[in-house]
Structure 1
Amino acid sequence: MPSPDWNARFSDSEYAYGTEPNEFLVQQAFRVSGPVLSIAEGEGRNAAYLASNGHCVHAVDGSAVGLAKAVKLADQNGVQISTEVSDLSDYEPAENAFGSIISIYAHLDGSIRRRLYPLLAKALKPGGILILEAYSENQIGRGTGGPGDVDLLMSCSKIENEFVGLETVCLHEIEREVHEGKFHTGMASVIQYVGRKAE
C-alpha cells in the first residue's frame, strides 16, 4: 500500500482523523510539561488539545495543508501553536529543548526512525518524557487503520531498540477501539509507549 499523499488527504474541509485528541495522550497528559514537540502532527488535534492545557506546542509535519488546518483548529479552541513544515527524514530538533515530545500514529520507515528517534531523545530536556502510540505489526489485515507495510508498523522490540537514551515508563501492545476520524476506526492493535530522559 503506497503512502498517502498527505496534502491531498488533508485538503478536505473535514478533519481526516477528527478534531478530538488521541485517547492515550489524554490518559498520559498529566505527565506532559512544556515546551512540547509534536511530530507528524497533521491537522492539529493533539497540538490544539495540549495548547488548551496551557502548554507551548511546536507542531511539525510534512504537509503544509495539514498544518494550516492545525492553526485553524487551535484558533477555534482559543489557543495558539507554532508550526514547521519539515520532512521527518531529515528533521533535526534542537537538543535539550523540549519538556515533552508527542508521536501519535507517526508511522515512519525503519531507516527514518533509526535516525530520528535518537535525535528525539537528545531533544528532550533532562527528565523530559516522550509519549507514543502507533499501530502494531499485528494491525496488518485488520482494515481499521494504519499502513499496510510492516516496516512502518511498530513493535515493543522496535521501541526498545530504536529509542536509545530513554528509560521506559510504559511499553505494551494492546487491542483497543480507536475512533479518530474516518481513517482510524475500529478494533485495533496498538503499541503504547512512554519514555523518560534521565535527570
Structure 2
Amino acid sequence: MENFWDKRYAGADYLFGTKPAAGLIALEPHLVAGGKTLVVADGEGRNSVYLASRGYDVRATDYSQVAQEKAKALAKEAGVDVEFVLSDIYDAGWSDEAYDNVVAIFIQFVPPERMGEIFTALARATRAGGTLLIHGYTPEQVALGTGGPGNPDHMYTPDMLADAFSHMQIMVNRAYTATLNEGRGHSGPSALIDFVAKG
C-alpha cells in the first residue's frame, strides 16, 4: 500500500544521500562495537548499511517499501547484510527484543502527542549496558528551513530528552549548529541535537 513516505522516496536518487549521517559517525564511539543494532525509521539505508559495513549486526525498520528496496540495493552494492523489516514505527513490536545499540536518526515525523510512546519503546529496546543514540533537529531548525518538518513541536530539546530518558545514564546531550550536505533532504545550515544514553 502506497503511503506518504513511498511518494517521498520515489525517484532514482537517494533523498538523504548514501553516506551515513554526520551525527552517527561522530557518535559511533559510544556504540557497543559489533553489537546487535536496531536502526528505526531507517529510510533508504544509508545509516544501517554504514553500520553493517563497520561490523555491526544490523536490523533496520522502515514504513516505506520504496525506501527499503533502495536500502536493499545499497546494501547489495556495499556487500553487507542487513535484516530489513517493513514496520510502522508505532507498531512497537520491534521493542520487544533487547539490542546492544538502538539508533534513531531524524525521526522528526513523530508528532508530539506520540513522542512519549516512541521514547518509551526506544528505551525498552536498549538492553542493560547497551547504547541508545538519537540524532535530530532542535526547534530552531524550522527557521533555517534546510530539512525536517515545519512544525517546531516535532523537534527535540536537551531538556525534553533528559526528562524522557532520566532513568538511563546520559552520556551526550547537546544542541549545536552545523552545515549538512546529506542529499537534497538535509542540506545547509542546520540546528541539531545529539543524544546518547546507556541502558
Normalised-by-shorter TM-score class: over 0.9
The corresponding residue for 1:32 is 31
Conserved in 2, the CA contact under 8 Å of 1:93 and 1:120? no
CA–CA separation in structure 2 for the residues paired with 1:61 and 1:129: 20
Residue 162 of structure 1, CA deviation: 2.1
Offset at residue 88 of structure 1 (A): 1.3
The yes-or-no answer on 1:87 pairing with 2:88 is: yes
1:62 aligns with 2:68: no
CA–CA separation in structure 1 for the residues paired with 2:163 and 2:93 = 20
SS in 2 for 1:43: coil
- Unmatched 5+ stretches in structure 2: none
Partner of 2:186: 184
Match of 1:52 in 2: 53
The answer to whether structure 1 residue 151 and structure 2 residue 153 are counterparts is: yes
* TM-score computed with the length of structure 1 as normaliser: 0.92
Q: Deviations over 1:148-192 (max 9, x none)?
A: 012211111221222353211000110001111001001111111
Contact kept in structure 2, 1:134 and 1:190, CA below 8 Å? yes
**Which has a greater percent of helix?**
2
CA contact (8 A) 1:144 1:184 kept: yes
* 1:118–1:165 Cα contact (<8 Å) kept: no
Shift of residue 96 of structure 1?
5.3
Q: Distance in 2 between matches of 1:66 and 1:91?
A: 20
Q: Which runs of 5+ in 1 are unaligned?
A: none
Cα offsets for 1:52-94 (capped at 9, x unmatched): 0011111111111111111110110000101111111232324
- Runs of 4 or more, structure 1, over 6 Å off, are none
Q: How many residues are paired up?
A: 194
Alpha-carbon RMSD across the aligned residues, in angstroms, is 1.5
The 1:166–1:92 alpha-carbon spacing in structure 2 relative to 1, beyond 3 Å, is farther
Q: Distance in 2 between matches of 1:160 and 1:109?
A: 18
Deviation at 1:112, TM superposition (A): 2.2
- The DSSP-based 3-state class of the residue aligned with 2:144 is coil
AA paired with 1:23? A
CA distance in 1, matches of 2:94, 2:6: 23
Please give the secondary structure, in 2, of the residue aligned with 1:71.
helix
